[in-house]
Chains A and B, each alone.
Chain A
């Protein structure tokens, strides 16, 4: 279910790192909790994000939710397809529903995050 080459946060973001670039999104668990996503506010390309800084806002029919950056870095691309099709976050949260791409500042920060198996255990704890 949760890709093994991603890292995960307790706020239910995922990050996939390739070299010094990373892709960030929210997890399947997060999209299920939110329900139908109808609006997303994306950051500007070039924005410098600190660890756990708000990237933007995702709104479902019922809820407004912040998305936080799993690590620090510079925004190099945003998924502008989400402006017209925010439902991609529900349909494919770990793929087409990605939110931003970052230039990673300090790879060591990944150590603060969870692996897929740790995240799955974390979810079990939430559901118990």
Chain B
């Protein structure tokens, strides 16, 4: 099993460790609900070093990124990032990712842990004709996420950069306790916060410095358990659950990241055709009207007929109700539409609701 460079620190903190796609990762420290609420009300620190990092550089780096992804990477200047995807020619997801412009002709793709080898191979398989080099740096990077309303106050004195002025999806380079980092105002929780990338061989120094400073603000270490409940409340997609190689970017309700006006990219024709013809199904958020928890893969029924499965579902620690995501036929996706979820031997009523389920009040 692979270990992040902060593994022993987690164990010292008493984390419960699990195997997650070949990595030994903390699933919870003090308890998922407590950690979840700490991120909503104060702050939480995550070790997300299992995430993959792939660097594309060279004279045609931008052209290549433009070819691989549907969003417009030409809008990125150094120290800016965007959410995007690696798309198949069918317009479905190889992965979803963040594209960082590190410098002119150099891009960092932050990809899902479970997909990093597959993505790397996909990128290599499509690089013919592009003057670029591609490196899989997934095992070299440590990635921490500091998330929550107190994240800015906690991180600011540790980093010689004006974080207050850093807008959402902007990044900055600097040092934390002497270690080089790239910090971006991004996250996977629905809160303000930062993701911190470093090649440091002693990233636990950074972890400890943030934890020490955060104590007074109620900062807690947070595991993958709360990461999942936080991201779902904010309706952020989880690859393998909500999106995969069978779901298109439009069906996943992420049409905003497809820039049809830009030149050819993988999946453009398929997506254009689907847009013109109209999608037949779409992902929606729902809440349960009866008691129970709708978990992923539970069957979804409309008028007694099975139409799909729950892709993600939890009891929301913040909203205190059962919420989830599923794909429904397009004519059933209007907010307020009722349907049923099969939970064990019962059918439980559910209703389509507007998403995100949770939205923070202030934006950075």
Q: Is the CB of B225 within 8 A of A35?
A: yes
B27, B34, B292: the one contacting A62 at CB < 8 Å is: B27
Q: Is the CB of A36 within 8 A of B31?
A: yes
Q: Is the CB of B293 within 8 A of A59?
A: yes
Cα of A38 to Cα of B315 in the assembled complex, Å: 7
Q: Is the CB of A62 within 8 A of B315?
A: no
Which residues of A22-79 are within 8 A (CB) of B?
35-36, 38-39, 41, 57, 59-62, 64
For residue B237, give the distance in angstroms from its CB to the closest CB of chain A.
Answer: 19
For residue A19, give the distance in angstroms from its CB to the closest CB of chain B.
Answer: 33
Q: Is the CB of B27 within 8 A of A36?
A: no
For residue B40, give the distance in angstroms from its CB to the closest CB of chain A.
Answer: 15
Q: Is the CB of A61 within 8 A of B314?
A: yes
Total contacting residues, chain B, CB less than 8 A = 17
Q: Is the CB of B229 within 8 A of A61?
A: yes
Does B291 have its Cβ within 8 Å of any Cβ on chain A?
A: yes
Q: Is the CB of B32 within 8 A of A64?
A: no
Q: Is the CB of B293 within 8 A of A36?
A: no
Q: Which residues of B contact A35 (CB under 8 A)?
A: 16, 28, 31-32, 225
* Binary per-residue interface labels of chain B (292-320) against chain A in the complex, 1 for a CB within 8 Å, 0 otherwise: 11010000000000000000001101000
Residues of A in contact with B (beta carbons under 8 Å apart): 35-36, 38-39, 41, 57, 59-62, 64, 83
State the 10 A-B residue pairs at the shortest beta-carbon distance, nearest first: A38-B315, A61-B32, A36-B33, A59-B293, A39-B293, A36-B31, A36-B32, A62-B225, A35-B32, A39-B315
CB pairs A–B below 8 angstroms (10 shown): A36-B31, A38-B315, A38-B317, A39-B291, A39-B292, A57-B344, A59-B315, A61-B33, A61-B225, A61-B317
